[in-house]
Amino acid sequence: MRNTRLPLFIIALVMLLGLMLPVDLHAANTTPAPTGSKKLIYDQADLLTPQEEQSLTQLARQYAPEHQTDFIIYTSNNPEGRDVQLMTEDLYDRKAFGYNQPFSNAVILTMDMYNREVYLAGFGTAEHTLNNSRLDKIRSKITPDLAAGNYEAAFAKYIQLSNEYMDYKLGTTPDNLLFKLWFQLLIAAAIGGIIVWIMAARSGGVVTVDRSTYEDSSVSGVLDSYDNYTHTTVTKHKIEKSSSSGGGGGTSSGGHSHSGSRGSF
């Protein structure tokens, strides 16, 4: 009896271990990296406080899932004086940014503090949803804050506007008044006012008596008329020239194409 029970016990123990080990190994191999561990802010120029950097990181993570796009911020003192576009392209090539896979959807804002330039670039689907023209608009809206040193406000606006502009179909202008809720409400109120005015005007009946009813055309008429020329006034307005450099994308040394917009601040 002893010789038969011992092998059965060993066989049962081996089978139990065989059932347990594959489950543990499978769980260890498929556990995804936490999404909150992805680095999105590279503040090498120390423009942000730790609290500001944390706040911007949370904001970028909040908007990222909507269009499956990472929002990156990169600041540098750039002591070597490199071109800001090349700095952006090299960063993308090195870090392999992307929301769900390497070298995929990402938007990058690069601050070159040495040359006082800013560059915006869209990679992956963002190359089209945030084309050169749209990036120009975003850059023009954040430049006043950048020039005033309000970096956190400018970076937050960059994230929010990028996410907002990606909602619009290609070929449409995000800043078109027809897309603004306040303008739509204004038009609706104006149309409603016109309709009410017409209804009120018609409710009082039609006036059939006018000036000609009591006028004797045989004794009425214009006796004389004349015009006196006094003077001419000429007003001049100075047309201000923009100092922005405009947009322009390109292709990184790693072969990744992108949209782009650059300018000074």
Lowest pLDDT segment from 26-40, 124-138, 237-251:
26-40
Q: What is the DSSP string of the chain?
A: -HHHHHHHHHHHHHHHHHHHHHHHHHHHHH-PPPGGG---EEETT--S-HHHHHHHHHHHHHHHHHHT-EEEEEEE--TT---HHHHHHHHHHHHT--SSSTT-SEEEEEEETTTTEEEEEEETTHHHHT-HHHHHHHHHHHHHHHHTT-HHHHHHHHHHHHHHHTTSPTTS-TT-GGG-HHHHHHHHHHHHHHHHHHHHHHHT------GGGS--TTT------------------PPPPP----B--EE-TTS-EEEEEEEE-
What is the model's pTM? 0.64
**DSSP element (H, E) containing 108:** strand 106-112
Give me the domain span that covers residue 173: 39-177+246-264
C-alpha to C-alpha distance for 155 and 89, rounded to whole angstroms: 19
Is 253 inside any structural domain? yes
Is 65 inside any structural domain? yes
Q: What percent of the chain has pLDDT over 90?
A: 55
pLDDT in tens, 52-82: 999 999 999 999 999 999 999 999 999 999 9
Residue 157 has pLDDT above 70, yes or no: yes
Is 222 inside any structural domain? no
Mean pLDDT, to the nearest integer, of 147-168? 97
CATH of the domain at 164: 3.10.310.50
Is 27 inside any structural domain? no
Is 55 inside any structural domain? yes
Is 52 inside any structural domain? yes
pLDDT in tens, 185-232: 555 556 766 776 566 667 765 556 666 665 666 665 555 555 565 665
User: How far does Cα 177 stand from its chain's mean position?
Assistant: 17
Is 142 inside any structural domain? yes
Provide the number of structural domains found in the chain: 1
Residue 99 has pLDDT above 70, yes or no: yes
Residue 8 has pLDDT above 70, yes or no: no
Is 8 inside any structural domain? no
Dihedral sign for Cα atoms in the order 71, 72, 75, 78: negative
